[in-house]
Amino acid sequence: MTNPLLSDWRSEFALPPFDAIEDDAFAPAFDVALAEARANIARIGGQGAAPSFANTIAALELAEQRLDRVMGVFHNLAAADSTPAREALQRELAPKLAAFSSEVTMNKALFERIETLWQSRETLDLDAEEDRVLTLYRRMFIRAGAALDGAARDRMAAIRERLAVLSTAFSQNLLADERGWTMPLADADLEGLPDFVIASARAAAEERGQEGHVLTLSRALVVPFLQFSPRRDLREAAYAAWVARGANGGATDNRAIAAEILALRQERAQLLGYASFADYKLEPEMAKTPAAVRDLLMRVWAPARQKAVQDADVLTAMMHEDGINGDLEAWDWRYYSEKRRLAEHDLDEGVIKPYLTLEAMIGAAFDCATRLFGLEFRPLSVPLYHPDAQAWEVTRKGVHVAVFIGDYFARASKRSGAWCSSFRSQRKLGGAVRPIAVNVCNFAKPAAGQAALLSWDDARTLFHEFGHALHVMLSDVTFGMISGTAVARDFVELPSQLFEHWLEVPQVLDRHARHAITSDPMPADLRDRLLAARTYDQGFATVEYIASALVDLAFHEGPAPADPMAAQAGVLADLDMPHAIRMRHATPHFAHVFSGDGYSSGYYSYMWSEVMDADAFEAFEEAGDPFDPATAQKLERHILSAGGSQEPDALYLAFRGKMPGVEPLLKGRGLL
């Protein structure tokens, strides 16, 4: 039979034939795709013709098309709907794909051709995008070790292969710990919990084939439990399990893996002549240096910590009033903070959530995209990889723009968190290709026949990930290498965090925040209280985030720590971390940093981008309209459609005319 991963995809919009793809199709498809890519690379590097942009750079852009297609399907499915077969293949593929990447980017013949082109680029009559792509290829090859020789070259290839194995193991261990823990909840344990938490716990039990109610380590379930359960003993047990992910001993323990990853990263940087991995990693980013990152984080840390300490005093007093003596603990913070929010802002999560249904918030995100960029969304009835996933065709003035897939509910086969990815990226080279973007979240799934209710943070997450999707879908470049979100790590969060601002536009809530049962709009006074409290508890949120970012930076800024857990403790002690707040992602489950190199030395990037997103939304406020057409057009032209076609500071300057300071960020977080 023809392998569906290798055949032409004749479905509407050339979507992957999900209903025909079995797990046993992936391994042979990878074998064929890798062989084809190797042959193409060998042909490019070994050709007798003198190097030209067309026969080298453009050819490289198209050399791995089939492999990219197979990987796009496999990696998305392995993350969003894992199976034992997919996990086994991930482990098998990780070193193979890393070895292939090394073969390409350390290929001497290819590098010589690229270097020849780069040295003579002034005479090549390249347009701006071609010059940018050539420069990025040269940088990519050099940073991969193409200029190394002998033992250093061999060692670099071995390091990259080993890192791929370790990051895969880290991810799979974390997923195993997350899906392997449940806590049954007896009827008495449900006391004080809102109906939506009880319903989520019942749905979690049903998914696992259990009776009654269970607590899981899905953030969408464990966080509301910590907010509302009056049972301090149960909160402590749940919190302990949540923060112990990846550090439970045995086969799924990630602590030794993290130590080895850090040591290999340091060695990799030193082979390339850098003092530290942070110096290596940050060189192509907007921040450029570890010192610049630390400066930003510490400028925000001081006011954030001061606010958090003040809040801790208030929450401690509330706890003592309940007759509980001693210190406020991490498993107490959310519970007393929720009670304080109700007292000070008259905001009850159980009252808010019925107005924030998943369907309504998807509609709100789509409506904002329509009003800003003229996009229209048409539901598609097509086979997808999981029954929970939904798809829409995205058009503008009747012209196809993209396919958007939303996969919103938590399940045991899905890794935690929320992310945006793509099954196919936009490009024009070799024929116009339009993207297939996917947003994956972990919202609590409702019982059959009931609406899915989101928290305010859930709704913000949905808007955040859709901002990434807009970056993917509105991309308008020639070369896939710079398409969509292929930008500096500390720039990639700008579109996502900027789009969050539209959730807070009153007219958006007035139009879309409607009660799940009555369809009544959210009352104006509730809306106003909700928006007035948007900076509530930002001391806590900022402290837990910056602590994680500073630990990440410290891990990579100097010699790799032999004991990352001790190094983590040292950083937190130096910061005088408030007792009742833990870092958002402790080392054994810090997937951003250890499930790949993406955010290593780069977890700070959310805050770096926030400096820009706060300033960028002010452009709309200065125009007097959150949907100002001229400002939206500039945003699309210079940011969303431009991909990585220029350095990020040049793109931002083209949009805004100036670089921002930190004040809008502090104002937005209520820390001034």
pLDDT per residue as tens digits for the range 317-374: 999 999 999 999 999 999 999 999 999 999 998 899 999 999 999 999 999 999 999 9
C-alpha span between 264 and 155 (Å, rounded): 10
Mean pLDDT of 415-426: 96
Paired residues of 403 in beta bridges: 393, 436
User: Encoding tokens for residue 268?
Assistant: 């990799």
Write the CATH number for 113.
1.20.1050.40
Phi, psi of 421 (to 5 degrees): -140, -175
| Chain position carrying tokens 């190797």 | 38
Residue 7 lies in a domain: no
Query: Which residues are part of the catalytic machinery?
Result: 465
Q: What is the pTM of this model?
A: 0.95
User: Encoding tokens for residue 492?
Assistant: 């990639």
With a cut of 90, say whether residue 448 has pLDDT above it. no
Q: Which helix (H) or strand (E) holds 184?
A: strand 183-185
With a cut of 90, say whether residue 672 has pLDDT above it. no
Q: Quote the pLDDT of residue 282.
A: 97
pLDDT in tens, 372-419: 999 999 999 999 999 999 999 999 999 999 999 999 999 999 999 999
In contact, 53 and 124? CB cutoff 8 Å: yes
C-alpha span between 107 and 102 (Å, rounded): 8
646 sits in the region (left: phi over 0; alpha: psi -120 to 50; else beta) called beta
Q: Which helix (H) or strand (E) holds 358?
A: helix 358-373
- What is the domain extent for residue 609? 277-325+536-668
Q: Which helix (H) or strand (E) holds 395?
A: strand 390-396
My answer on whether 385 and 431 are in the same domain is yes
My answer on whether 321 and 417 are in the same domain is no
User: Encoding tokens for residue 11?
Assistant: 């479905």
pLDDT in tens, 50-103: 999 999 999 999 999 999 999 999 999 999 999 999 999 999 999 999 999 999
My answer on whether 222 and 359 are in the same domain is no
My answer on whether 559 and 593 are in the same domain is yes
Question: What distance lies between CA 430 and its chain's CA centroid?
Answer: 29
My answer on whether 20 and 98 are in the same domain is yes
C-alpha span between 513 and 507 (Å, rounded): 10
Write the CATH number for 424.
1.10.1370.40
C-alpha span between 381 and 392 (Å, rounded): 9
Give, to the nearest 10 degrees, the angle between helix 26-46 and helix 84-105: 0
Mean pLDDT of 434-453: 94
Please report, for the chain, how many H helices and E strands are present, in that order. 27, 7
My answer on whether 124 and 27 are in the same domain is yes
Phi, psi of 216 (to 5 degrees): -120, 180
My answer on whether 239 and 313 are in the same domain is no
Handedness of CA 267, 272, 274, 279 (dihedral sign): negative
My answer on whether 134 and 94 are in the same domain is yes
Phi, psi of 185 (to 5 degrees): -115, 115
Mean pLDDT across the chain, nearest whole number?
Answer: 96
With a cut of 70, say whether residue 265 has pLDDT above it. yes
Residue 506 lies in a domain: yes
Phi, psi of 136 (to 5 degrees): -70, -35
Would you say how long the chain is, in residues?
672
My answer on whether 541 and 506 are in the same domain is no
My answer on whether 320 and 365 are in the same domain is no
Neighbours of 13 (CB within 10 A): 15
Q: Quote the pLDDT of residue 1.
A: 61
With a cut of 90, say whether residue 11 has pLDDT above it. no
Phi, psi of 307 (to 5 degrees): -65, -40
Paired residues of 108 in beta bridges: none
With a cut of 80, say whether residue 482 has pLDDT above it. yes
In contact, 138 and 118? CB cutoff 8 Å: yes
Residue 531 lies in a domain: no
CA distances from 473 to 62, 367, 421, 470, 646 (A): 20, 16, 11, 5, 18
Mean pLDDT of 434-449: 94
With a cut of 90, say whether residue 447 has pLDDT above it. no
Residue 595 lies in a domain: yes
Proportion of the chain above pLDDT 90, given as a percent: 96
User: How many alpha carbons lie under 13 Å from residue 516 in its C-beta half-sphere?
Assistant: 19
**Smallest Cα–Cα separation from 408: which of 220, 172, 204?**
220
Q: Quote the pLDDT of residue 577.
A: 98
With a cut of 80, say whether residue 160 has pLDDT above it. yes
Q: Which helix (H) or strand (E) holds 568?
A: helix 564-575
Count: domains in the chain: 4
pLDDT in tens, 490-548: 999 999 999 999 999 999 999 999 999 999 999 999 999 999 999 999 999 999 999 99
Question: What distance lies between CA 221 and its chain's CA centroid?
Answer: 20
Q: Which of 89-93, 232-236, 521-525, 658-662 has the lowest mean pLDDT?
A: 658-662
